[in-house]
Copies of this chain bind each other. A is one copy, B any other.
Amino acid sequence: VLKCEFAVRGAIVTHAMRLQEQLKQNPGSLPFDEIVVCNMGNPQSLGQQPITFFREVLALCGLPSFLDRSEAQKLFSADSIERARQILDQIPGRTTGGYSHTQGIKGLRETIAYGIEERDGFPSNANDIYLTDGASPGVHIMMQLLLRSELDGILCPIPHYPLYSASIALHGGTLVPYCLDEATGWGLEISEIKSQLEAARSKGVTVRALVVINPGNPTGQVLSEENQQQIVELCKKEGIVLLADEVYQENVYVPDKKFQSFKKIARSMGYQEKDIPLVSFQAVSEGYYGECEKRGGYMEVTGFSADIAEQIYKVASINSCNSNITGQILTSLVMSPPKVGDESYEVYSAEKKGILSSLARRALTLEDAFNSLEGVTCNKVEGAMYLFPRIHLPQKAIKAAESEHIAPDAFYAFRLLKETGIAVIPGTGFGQVPGTWHIRCTILLQETKIPAIVKRISDFHKKFMDEFRG
C-alpha cells in the first residue's frame, strides 16, 4: 500500500500545511502571510458560494416536520419545499436516517436516469446506476472486477489524475500508459493508444479497459465528437471496457466545445447497450457547485452481460458502498436542477452562470499569465478546473534537483511554495512524457486576488530563472 503515493495529498501538501501552522504560531516568520491553495479542486474553501436551491432542499430533507410550517414557507423557496417532499416520498420510511439499497435509493436513481436522458437524448435505466461516495468507490469496484492479476492491464492517459494509478496498483494490475499530445492541446491520438495496446499485448498483458478523462484532469481539454467516436470504435473493435471519467461534465469554458457523454456518442453511432461495455463516473465534488465534502456521485454501468452485472452488484454489496444520504440526494439534484418556471430557477441559473463565467475568466487570465513567463507554455483550459503549464527548466535547475534527490518539477514547486506560499502539484504526480516538466494549478482563486498572485508567481519565476539560467 505504501507504494502508492497520492500526489494530490503528497509532500507538497504536507509541507504547505506545516508552513500554515508556522504562520499561525509565528506570524511574520515567513516571506508571505498566507498559504495560497492552488493544489486542490476545492472551490468553496476559496470563497465560492454554494447553489442555494441545492442547500435548501438538503436542509429540508433532514427536517420533514418543518415542511408544513408557515415559517418554513417564508424561509425556503416553494420549489425546494416541493422537491424535498418528493424526495422524502421516494425514501422508504420518509427518513434520511436509514440505510438504503446497495445501489442507493431507487427513486433518486430514477431522477438521475431521467437527468441523463435529458442530457443525452437516449434512455437511461435506474438499475444501471450505483450511487457512490464521490467517484472513487466506483473506480475501485471496477478495478477490483477487471484486474485478476498483474497480467491484466488498464490503458490510462499520461498525464492523469492519480486515482487511476493508485487503484490499479492497489488491485494488483498493470497500468498501460498512453501519452496525450501536449502539442495538439493534449490530443488523444488513437494511433498512440493502439501502439501501446499492442506493446502491452506483446508482453502478455490482457488489456481490459481504457480510461478516458473528459474534460481532462489535469490537462483541461474537452474531446471533440470525432475523437470520441474513434475511441468508441476502438473499444468496440478491441473488445475492451470504456471507463469514462465524466466528473467535469458541467465545467466547459470555451464556446466552440461542449461536453458530450460517451454513452450519447456510442448510441448516436448506432451502438446499443449490448454492443459496448461502458461505465460513466460522475461526482458532486466537481461541477460548478463544487460540493466536495458532501461525497456524492454515481456510476452508470451499461453493456455488461448479466453475470458480470451480478458480480458488480456483489462487489458493491460487500464494500457496503452505498453512499451517504446527503450525497445521494445532492447527486439527484445536480442531475435534475430547477427548470424554467420553477420559483428557484432564476436565482439558480444566475448563480450557476456567475460561477461558470467567473471560472472561464480566471482560466483565461491565468493561462495568459503562465504563457507570458520565460520558458513556460500553457495549453488552453477548455474545461475542468486546472492549468497544467509546461516549465522548460534550465539544466542547472535540473542538476540542483538531482542533488536534492527530487524531481525537477517538484524542486520548482517546493521553491515556489517556500518563497511565495503558493501551493501547486508537480507534474510528476500525474505522469508526463519523460524529460518534460509541469505543474498543476487550479483556476479557483478568488478573482480579486488573482492579479496579486500572478505578480507573485511572475516575480518568483523571474528570480528562479535568473538563479538557474545557464
- Interfacial residues, chain A to chain B (CB-CB below 8 A): 1-2, 4-6, 9, 17, 40, 42-48, 50, 52, 55-56, 58-60, 62-63, 65-66, 69, 71-72, 74-75, 92-93, 95-102, 133, 136, 144, 166, 285, 289-295, 311, 314-315, 317-318, 320, 322-328
**Which of A55, A69, A314, A322 is most buried by chain B, counting CB atoms within 10 A of its CB?**
A55
CA distance in complex: A45, B98 (Å): 5
Q: Which residues of B contact A52 (CB under 8 A)?
A: 65
Q: Are A294 and B326 in contact (CB under 8 A)?
A: yes
Q: Are B291 and A44 in contact (CB under 8 A)?
A: no
Q: Which residues of B contact A98 (CB under 8 A)?
A: 42-45, 292-293
CA distance in complex: A75, B72 (Å): 7
Number of identical protomers: 2
The chain B residue sitting closest to A293, CB to CB, is B325
Closest Cβ of chain B to A172, distance in Å, is 11
CA distance in complex: A96, B45 (Å): 9
Q: Are A293 and B96 in contact (CB under 8 A)?
A: yes
18 A–B contacts, CB within 8 A, in A order: A1-B315, A1-B318, A6-B318, A9-B102, A9-B320, A40-B99, A44-B98, A45-B92, A50-B96, A58-B62, A71-B71, A97-B289, A97-B290, A97-B294, A99-B292, A99-B293, A100-B293, A293-B322
Q: Which residues of B contact A317 (CB under 8 A)?
A: 6, 9
Q: Are B44 and A318 in contact (CB under 8 A)?
A: no
Given A45-B92, A99-B40, A102-B9; A324-B66 close (CB under 8 Å): no
Q: Are A71 and B63 in contact (CB under 8 A)?
A: no
Q: Are B46 and A93 in contact (CB under 8 A)?
A: yes
Q: Are A133 and B1 in contact (CB under 8 A)?
A: no
Given A292-B99, A293-B97; A55-B46 close (CB under 8 Å): no
Closest Cβ of chain B to A358, distance in Å, is 16
Among B40, B62, B292, point to the contact of A59 (Cβ < 8 A): B62
Among B1, B60, B314, B324, point to the contact of A295 (Cβ < 8 A): B324
CA distance in complex: A155, B72 (Å): 52
